[in-house]
Amino acid sequence: MKILGIDEAGRGPVLGSMMICGYLIDQSKRATLKALGAKDSKLLVAAKREEIAAKLRDIADDYVVLKVGVNEIDDAVELGNLNVLEMEKMAEIIRALRPDKAIVDCPETNTVRFGKRLSVMARTPVVAENYADVTHVEVSAASILAKSEREKEVATLHAQYGFFGTGYTSDERTITFLKDWLERNKGLPDFARKSWITSQALLAGKEQKTLKWLNAERD
């Protein structure tokens, strides 16, 4: 029996893409995943995560990582529901890898509704659970590979644009980077999610400062 685990990395940050991974493996290999130390990627330090990720790629029956860029995320948020976009991407992965069963880390609290809708879209039985990356090793594997790809993108962005920390709004380094960028470039970087409240607040603050400057010029 082929089981597909699906999880994402980078849903919350203001900078960078979201990665959604589908990890396909035969049920008989579940014990091997556990032996490798597959678990929720947030519980692994970077070096250990990359070590396990390499082994997971080797033993997978198949896997895919979809990159969901900032523009696509912004469009979904403006339409009112990022969960729908995530569901569509999950369905795309399921249809491509054709498992006997899929287990997904559900982004909303109504897991039954999400699972039923995704099952119909993907034409495959789906189990949707909150914290599935903790309770299902296939989803843990997907979590690790998604996080690995997200970290690779962040490292590339650091090299191109300068260090900005993790890209999450809770990271002071990220906020400082955005404020500095806004001062120098009069706008946010292309890899920033403009629909995020943090982005809108920073832009509103910049506009307010500009208005004050213009008013001072008129006085």
Structural domains in the chain, CATH included, are: 2-159 (3.30.420.10), 162-213 (1.10.10.460)
Residue 210 has pLDDT above 50, yes or no: no
- The pLDDT, as a whole number, for residue 206 is 63
Cross-strand bridge partners of residue 104 = 6, 128
The pLDDT of residue 45: 78
C-alpha Rg value of the chain to the nearest Å: 20
Say how far apart CA 53 and CA 140 lie, in whole Å.
11
Share of the chain above pLDDT 70, in %: 93
Asked whether residue 120 carries a pLDDT value surpassing 80, the answer given is yes
At 134 the pLDDT is 93
pLDDT, tens digit (0-9, with 9 covering 90-100), for 45-103 = 788 889 999 999 999 999 999 999 999 999 999 988 899 999 999 999 999 999 999 99
Chain centroid to CA 204: 26
Q: Strand pairing of 101-105 and 62-68?
A: unpaired
Q: 25 and 138 in contact (C-beta within 8 Å)?
A: yes
- Closest C-alpha to 147, from 27, 65, 41: 41
Contact between residue 9 and residue 166 where contact means Cβ atoms under 8 Å apart: no
Query: Under a CB-based contact definition with an 8 Å cutoff, are residues 168 and 11 in contact?
Result: no
Rounded to an integer, the average pLDDT of 110-127 is: 96
Q: Which residue has the higher pLDDT, 70 or 219?
A: 70
The pLDDT value given to residue 40? 67
Q: Identify any residues that bridge with 19 across adjacent strands, giving them in sequence order.
A: 9, 67
What one-letter code names the amino acid at 98? Answer: R
Predicted local confidence at residue 118, as pLDDT: 97
Average pLDDT, the chain: 91
User: What does the alpha-carbon distance between residue 138 and residue 60 come to, in Å, rounded to a whole number?
Assistant: 10
pTM to 2 decimal places: 0.90
